[in-house]
């Protein structure tokens, strides 16, 4: 609980920092005469085609009564018009008036200028890191949206280096593996590239908002046996079904390529991956204790027979 409180305070501290930098604190947003919430509502009205009050309340998570009073004030000031929805008389469609757009336009310009002012002193690489960090925050917190936005593609130049790096960093952080694990991953991807048979082997890269969030490989062990290798899902993308999707891609590809079975080698502490393999129909066929990657562990061997679909 203490760690959660610390994390919550860190987020609140960042919010104070950011809202101060863009002039969103105080009684008036950038001295406009509008509060920050009023500006957010005006933004929705300016960028959506005749929304209802319910649409705006849901998007901005605003109390319906509070929003109703705000919209009444806007109408009284001539900023907003409301017309009854032809298809549903219980709702009114809201639009900014010319006066409303005139009032909002400088606010929008000043907001853009404020953000541009934050980014302008930064180098291109620093700007990219800022945008990437914001993308990760949104993807992690808005998990429903993230689940819909995954795309899979084949590997391209630069991906193998990322795969080696992320395996090394994540497995060191989460399982205490030393650099020998990273070396093993480097050997696997080097052999994959040098001996790639595109008809029978493949690497999938999962992306979300242009960022790599997962990988998996299928390689040939023999004419009849494929090997599943290097499954990785970034922490920000876990719990959304991506791991199962990647494993399913391997199974479908292996069947289409004519393999009779798929085998894999994993470690007993990789419990999430083991659950994915089991759910896909893999069976554990052996195990052995050993000391590898700087710690004692138990290696496990799993197999999926492809004679018929489950």
Q: Does the fold of domain 150-305 match that of domain 2-121?
A: no
Per-residue pLDDT of 255-286, as tens digits, reads 999 999 999 999 999 999 999 999 999 999 99
> What is the distance between the alpha carbons of residues 62 and 41, in angstroms, rounded to a whole number?
10
CA proximity to 39, closest of 109, 113, 134: 109
pLDDT (average), residues 106-128: 82
Give the pLDDT confidence score for residue 85 in this predicted structure: 78
Q: Where are the domains of the chain?
A: 2-121, 150-305
Mean pLDDT for all residues in the chain: 87
Architecture of domain 150-305: 3-Layer(aba) Sandwich (3.40)
Q: Is the pLDDT of residue 6 over 80?
A: no
Give the pLDDT confidence score for residue 265 in this predicted structure: 95
> What is the distance between the alpha carbons of residues 64 and 94, in angstroms, rounded to a whole number?
15
CATH number for the segment(s) 2-121: 1.10.10.10
CB–CB of 306/262 below 8 Å?
yes
Q: Which letter, b or e, does each residue of 75-87 get, where b requires 16 or more Cβ atoms within 10 Å of its Cβ?
A: eeeebbebeeeee
Give the pLDDT confidence score for residue 279 in this predicted structure: 93
Lowest mean pLDDT among 116-130, 132-146, 219-233, 293-307: 132-146
* Assigned token pair, 163: 């795969």
Per-residue pLDDT of 10-51, as tens digits, reads 777 777 777 666 655 444 565 667 887 888 899 889 888 888
Q: Is the pLDDT of residue 76 over 80?
A: yes
Give the pLDDT confidence score for residue 211 in this predicted structure: 85
């Amino acid at each position: 609980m203490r760690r959660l409180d610390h994390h919550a305070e860190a987020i609140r501290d960042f919010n104070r920092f950011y809202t101060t930098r863009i002039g969103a604190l105080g009684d008036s947003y950038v001295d406009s005469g509008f509060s920050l919430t009023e500006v957010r509502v005006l933004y929705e009205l300016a960028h959506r085609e005749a929304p209802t009050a319910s649409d705006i309340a849901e998007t901005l998570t605003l109390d319906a009564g509070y929003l109703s009073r705000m919209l009444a004030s806007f109408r009284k000031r001539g900023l907003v018009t409301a017309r009854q929805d032809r298809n549903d008389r219980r709702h009114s469609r809201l639009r900014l008036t010319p006066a409303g757009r005139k009032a909002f336009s400088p606010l929008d310009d000043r907001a853009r200028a404020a953000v541009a002012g934050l980014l302008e002193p930064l180098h291109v690489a620093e700007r990219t890191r800022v945008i990437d960090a914001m993308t990760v925050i949104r993807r992690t917190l808005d998990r429903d949206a993230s689940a819909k936005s995954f795309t899979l593609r084949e590997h391209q130049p630069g991906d193998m280096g990322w795969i080696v790096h992320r395996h090394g960093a994540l497995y060191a952080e989460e399982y205490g593996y030393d650099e020998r694990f990273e070396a093993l991953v480097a050997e696997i991807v080097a052999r994959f590239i040098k001996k790639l048979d595109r008809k029978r082997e493949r690497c999938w890269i999962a992306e979300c908002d242009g960022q790599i969030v997962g990988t998996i490989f299928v390689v040939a062990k023999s004419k009849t046996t494929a090997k599943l290798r290097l499954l990785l899902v970034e922490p920000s993308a876990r719990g959304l079904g991506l791991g199962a999707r990647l494993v399913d891609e391997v199974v479908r590809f292996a069947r289409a390529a004519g393999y009779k079975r798929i085998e894999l080698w994993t470690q007993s502490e990789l419990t999430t991956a083991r659950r994915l393999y089991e759910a896909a129909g893999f069976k554990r066929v052996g195990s052995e204790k050993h000391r590898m990657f700087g710690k004692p562990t138990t290696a496990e061997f799993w197999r999926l027979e492809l004679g018929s679909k489950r």
